[in-house]
Chains A and B, each alone.
Chain A
Amino acid sequence: MSGSEINDSEGRRLSTTVWTALDRKAGAVIELTIKQLRNKTSTWTVFGVSTLLLLLLSAFYVDSVRDGFESIDNDGDSVDYDGDGYPLGQERKYGSSDFNPDEYPGSGLFIPEGEIYYNGPRSHTGNHSWDADGPSLFSGSWDNILDYYPEGDEPCPEIIDELLENTPYGWSPYSCVMANGDRYLQFLRFDGNGTLTVAQGWYAIFGVVTERFQVLPDPPEAYIDEDGIDWDPNNPSSSQGFDDDGDCTRSEYPEQVAADNDDSNRNRIPCDVLWTRGADGSVIQIQPDMLVDEDPVDSELMGESSHRSFIIITGKIAFAMIIGIFLPLFLALGLIRDESENGTLHYLLSKPIHRGEFIVYRLSGYLIFAGGFVLLMSLLMALVTVFLGPEGNRLADFNVWFGIGAVTVLSLAAYGSIFNAMGLMSPKYGVYLALIYGVYEFAMAVMTLFGAELVPVISVSHWSLQMIDAVVLVAWPDTIMLSQMSTAFNIDSGLGFFWRPPLHTFGTGSPAFAIGLSITVLLAFISLPILVGQSIFKRREID
């Protein structure tokens, strides 16, 4: 550079090397970019709307924290579906159906012993409880009708013959006395000692009815939080858990009914919970047998997992999806395109700056501005959740929020460079390209939220969402356990849905690996469009 040497404000000589000059040029372009963005109304509109969104979510969060977590009936067994006065939980214990008002604890259960099958012998003799389906004749001592229909002692109409050929089949219970003293009946259950003959093509079963006894109905409240998680972290055994309310062990079943206790987790121990631990001792899978520990005390467990799921959902939806996609759409697309549209690009390009360099500086300026906003917002959200969150060491929250901020900044960079490249590719219609791409990314993000693993792989949002999953796992290693607990024990915190262990770990299961892979992919998403953009831009004539 010609001209006199100029000293800086403190009188030092300014050394000018290639590197310092590069640095200063970068500084100038970045500063210009930030000033430009600061001067756009749309920037502040987007920032304002984003802030409002986060305020709204925080308000909901604060409200839910203040309310605390009321106990809810996680397994839905406090409801009396059939209206017989006994809640489902009580009926389960006694093995009676909650969809049949005539079956209730102590009502006596019909236990089949044999049947008159459609195409087998047409009659059977014995002292049983009978359940006749279609038109039948019964001869013998008639005891009492078990259900449905009052005693019917009127004589049968003439049309009913003893061969059961011309009977007016109806679908309702009916009984009458034939001329010879036998009984004609259909759709009836009764006790009797004698012979039952069933019409061709119909069916009946016979068996015994268990003892009847008096059981007082439990109040529905007794079936809320009635079966807590029985787990001792210090007990190395994988089989733990206890069926406190007895609906798996079927504690009150009548003797005649085989108590075939559930072993859904197939560890050959009925009515327990299988806690599988990983190599490092942390719980990685929980498989309960049906109806074991299924209704835990919510206030103890909901707090932490719904706190986490709030952070994860906010991170994924508000930060990565909404701010992450729409902020770049507003701010990044015009970084160079607007300059050439406005005819001010030549001021900057008639200076000794390589055009590729220029793209990188512009993007950096945008990233510092937008990224600064995102990091500030994540810090604010961190403060809200750390101070209002449940008891315990909340410092890890800062790490998660920082991770969410960093992921969002990465996706801002990726979208920024993609949209900017689209603006360069087609100055007039790049906007539409970017719109369609934005919608695509949004749809891919929704698919990823719902657990799609393969389809959304070619999208920025997929990798940023997976990175949030991984960051969460690094900061809170017991999230797998909490998530497993919410699925296993019906805790409705959303954690099981919105958080999944990172998908792409190539079998290692390591969250650090997933973070590394996500960063690599996102960096590729950042740098490829820059390369493409600069090779287009380099050949562009600036008219």
Chain B
Amino acid sequence: MNSTPAIALDHVSKWYGQVIGVNDVSLAIDGGVTGILGMNGAGKSTLFKLLMGRLRPSNGSVKLFGTDPWETTSPYRRVGYVSESEKMYDWMTSLDFVSTLARLHGMTRYEAEKRAEQALSFVDLEGVLNKEIGKYSKGMRQRVKIAAALVHDPDLLILDEPLHGCDPLARTSIMNVIREMGSKGKTVLVSSHILEEIERITEQIVILHSGKLVALGNLHAIRAMLDKHPHRILIRCADSRALASTFIDQQPVYGVRFIDSESLEIMTKDLSEAHQLLPTLILKSGIQIYSIENPDDNLESLLAYLVGDA
């Protein structure tokens, strides 16, 4: 791979009339899987559309392999794109769909069909190649889109909410595909608004909020920052008061709150340490536990923390 990064954004802004979609984002990504995290409307899709030359940046410059995608279509040779749109040609078979798109890269019909078969079996659809897309489930459709994006063996893969609306089986399968692509040395961009999804795919993340880049880097580093933040652990058990007494004298715990006789909320400033302690203490107490939840361990609270700090 040469020195120009796959993706380079330099102070990019995009606004639709009065509404800002992306606000002064600078970013360079090359190699590996990167998760783009953000709430709905944070600007993930806008960012991807800017990368794919579908939108023209209002400000700043977008470079795909060193070339402006709005001006020329040449970088698309090396890019595969899965859009958030669920519209497809329902009357086509998936083989037809993927091979047609492959032919748009200048492949022959034969080559395109071979590649399309490969790509579709890569996403576990080899059994339904000749069925019309209209008859597919949502997860299958999503995988057809991924196959279409993979068919020309791109160096950069951009996936806009690929897990959205899929059943757990499909999610696992799609996540495997993404991880595999990453391990092949491709640059992969995945967006999601669900932290745990991204967590299962990659460690390298970018967090967008209201069009702004709020965090960028290793998920664990961000997590660690988050762990120092006051956290709650919600435990449902047979006897909340008895359980509370075992916690109350431990170092990371700074508060306990009773919700009812079977629910208990523990407040801590070091989540990982608290979680390390938890199993031993529970075992020691012998109280029956129904569930343990981390209500603050989600994107909302992460964002609230990050944005609040900023």
User: Could you list which residues of chain A lie within 8 angstroms of chain B, going by C-beta atoms?
Assistant: 1-3, 6, 8-9, 14, 16, 20-22, 24-25, 27-29, 31-32, 35-36, 39, 342-344, 346-354, 539, 541-543
Question: Is B136 part of the contact surface with A, judged by Cβ < 8 Å?
Answer: no
A297 to B155, CA, bound (A): 82
Q: Which chain A residues lie closer than 8 Å to B96 at the CB level? A: 35
* Nearest-CB residue, chain A, relative to B104: A351
How many A-B residue contacts, CB cutoff 8 Å?
98
A351 and B101 in contact, given A3-B153, A8-B111, A24-B108 (Cβ under 8 angstroms): yes
Q: Which chain A residues lie closer than 8 Å to B77 at the CB level? A: 1, 352
Q: A1-B153, A28-B104 are in contact. List 20 more A-B contacts (CB 8 A).
A: A1-B105, A2-B153, A3-B152, A8-B108, A8-B110, A8-B111, A14-B111, A24-B106, A24-B108, A29-B104, A344-B89, A346-B85, A350-B52, A350-B53, A350-B54, A351-B101, A351-B105, A352-B76, A353-B104, A542-B55
A350 and B79 in contact, given A6-B111, A9-B110, A344-B89 (Cβ under 8 angstroms): yes
A347 and B103 in contact, given A6-B111, A6-B115, A543-B54 (Cβ under 8 angstroms): no
User: Could you list which residues of chain B lie within 8 angstroms of chain A, going by C-beta atoms?
Assistant: 49, 52-56, 73-74, 76-77, 79, 81, 83, 85, 87-89, 91-92, 96, 100-101, 103-112, 114-115, 148, 152-153, 155
How far in angstroms is the closest Cβ of chain B from A454?
A: 45
A14 and B81 in contact, given A28-B100, A347-B148 (Cβ under 8 angstroms): no
Of A28, A32, A342, A346, the contact of B54 (CB 8 Å cutoff): A346
Q: Are B85 and A352 in contact (CB under 8 A)?
A: no
Q: Which chain B residues lie closer than 8 Å to A346 at the CB level? A: 52, 54, 81, 83, 85
Q: Are B103 and A28 in contact (CB under 8 A)?
A: yes
* Nearest-CB residue, chain B, relative to A350: B81
Q: Are B73 and A1 in contact (CB under 8 A)?
A: no
A14 and B108 in contact, given A350-B52, A352-B74 (Cβ under 8 angstroms): yes
How far in angstroms is the closest Cβ of chain B from A246?
A: 75
User: Would you mind naming 30 contact pairs between A and B with Cβ atoms under 8 Å apart?
Assistant: A6-B111, A8-B108, A14-B108, A24-B107, A25-B104, A27-B103, A27-B109, A28-B104, A28-B112, A35-B92, A343-B87, A344-B88, A346-B52, A346-B81, A346-B85, A348-B101, A350-B52, A350-B79, A350-B81, A350-B83, A351-B105, A352-B74, A352-B77, A352-B104, A352-B105, A353-B73, A354-B73, A541-B54, A542-B49, A543-B49
* Nearest-CB residue, chain B, relative to A3: B153
Of B83, B92, B106, B115, the contact of A16 (CB 8 Å cutoff): B106
Q: Which chain B residues lie closer than 8 Å to A35 at the CB level? A: 92, 96
Main secondary structure of the interface of A (DSSP, over half): loop
Q: What 3 A-B pairs come out closest when comparing CB atoms? A: A21-B106, A28-B103, A351-B104
* Nearest-CB residue, chain A, relative to B74: A352
How far in angstroms is the closest Cβ of chain A from B1?
A: 11
Q: Are A25 and B155 in contact (CB under 8 A)?
A: no
Q: Are B104 and A348 in contact (CB under 8 A)?
A: yes
Of B76, B87, B152, the contact of A344 (CB 8 Å cutoff): B87
Q: Are B76 and A351 in contact (CB under 8 A)?
A: yes
Q: Which chain B residues lie closer than 8 Å to A25 at the CB level? A: 103-106
Q: Are B74 and A24 in contact (CB under 8 A)?
A: no
How far in angstroms is the closest Cβ of chain B from A283?
A: 57
A32 to B108, CA, bound (A): 15
Q: Are B106 and A6 in contact (CB under 8 A)?
A: no
Q: Which chain B residues lie closer than 8 Å to A354 at the CB level? A: 73
How far in angstroms is the closest Cβ of chain A from B97?
A: 8
Q: Which chain A residues lie closer than 8 Å to B155 at the CB level? A: 2
A378 to B308, CA, bound (A): 74
A24 to B113, CA, bound (A): 13
How far in angstroms is the closest Cβ of chain A from B108?
A: 6
A541 to B109, CA, bound (A): 30
* Nearest-CB residue, chain A, relative to B97: A347
Of A22, A539, A543, the contact of B106 (CB 8 Å cutoff): A22
* Nearest-CB residue, chain A, relative to B149: A350
A541 and B56 in contact, given A1-B152, A346-B83, A352-B74 (Cβ under 8 angstroms): yes
